[in-house]
Structure 1
Amino acid sequence: MRRFAALGLAALVAAGGALGAGSVAVTPAWAAGNVSVTGLPLPRFVSLKASRVNVRVGPGNGYSTKWIFVRSGLPVEVIQEFENWRRIRDSNGEEGWVYWSLLSGKRTALVSPWDDAKQVPLHYAADDQASVVAILDPNVVAEVESCDGKWCKIRGKGFRGYAHQDSLWGVYPDETVK
């Protein structure tokens, strides 16, 4: 009987503490901030490795899916890490959590995704006077070979050349990529 009374008293104390005015909201560890688990810089750009990637509301399979990417190679920005999960941002500014193995360190970029009408000239060399070898439509995905802070050498199916760095989403302004 004493055992049951002690358990009952412990339950009342716990309930009172949880419901009392002095209760404290518990913040999940992953919400604490930008701590790099991998030692890699935050934020940073990566690309989707898989052709189907679930983006979740939190860092775990128990969290619901916000949306699903269905195209590999798209660039995303890693803005937070928690254990094996990466919080990412897409070119529309949407954020969610992705399991690390679905991401690749391969650098890709989207051509002017912020302007559906802006086509981007691709030059033979990193010079506005160099001949134009292609005109790229918005949202074309390109592999980033290198960037010097002003120009990026990119390639994709049927094209290869230099584009202004500020016309690409997937590289930072003034970033050097080797």
Structure 2
Amino acid sequence: MNSLAVMGAIAACDQDLALASLALGNLASLAGRGMRHQLQLATGEFTLFDDSYNANPASMRAAIENLAHQSPEKSGRRIAVIGDMAELGTHSQDYHLELANIMQQQKIDLIFAAGPEMAAMYAALPKRMQGAHKSDAAELAKPVIDGLRPGDIVMVKGSLSSGMSRVVAALLTFSETGQVAAPRGIEDAV
């Protein structure tokens, strides 16, 4: 969406759209901000969308809707791995609980959740959609990895403080080594 605004501004300034298109084509997603990975399992591949850097009700809804529009291969599933949304004030629990309805409406197959704010949301899900809930994102990496199968599309999202980049790091390491390592995320460097 930001790219469209940039192109509009370039056109309004009567500048070279072809050159701008080439420059925009070379941009890559930043870690935690929508980066897509094709990762290996012993028996095939799965897709990971790393949106672990930040979350609020609107961006969480958009990420869930994006996941819902993905087409898993073969027997793959749409899997949401979500952590707490921070700094939502007195309505925080309501915003988190609303995600259960959104994921059911969007037909997300399986949900893994981390953090105290996600507990009520997770409990509100039908059993068939429940992967695991843990109080900490680092504890969630192993259940997510154990639940993966070829063709799955996995979206990881949460506020930076929820530590969801640890799950992403664990998935990347597992894909490279076949080992479940102690997850470290970008928030460990902050």
Hey, which of these two has a bigger chunk of strand by percent? 1
Q: Which has the higher contact order (CA 8 A, sep 6+)?
A: 2
Q: Is TM more than 0.5 here?
A: no
Hey, which of these two has a bigger chunk of helix by percent? 2
Larger radius of gyration between Structure 1 and Structure 2 = 1
Q: Return the TM-score normalized by structure 1.
A: 0.27
Q: Return the TM-score normalized by structure 2.
A: 0.26
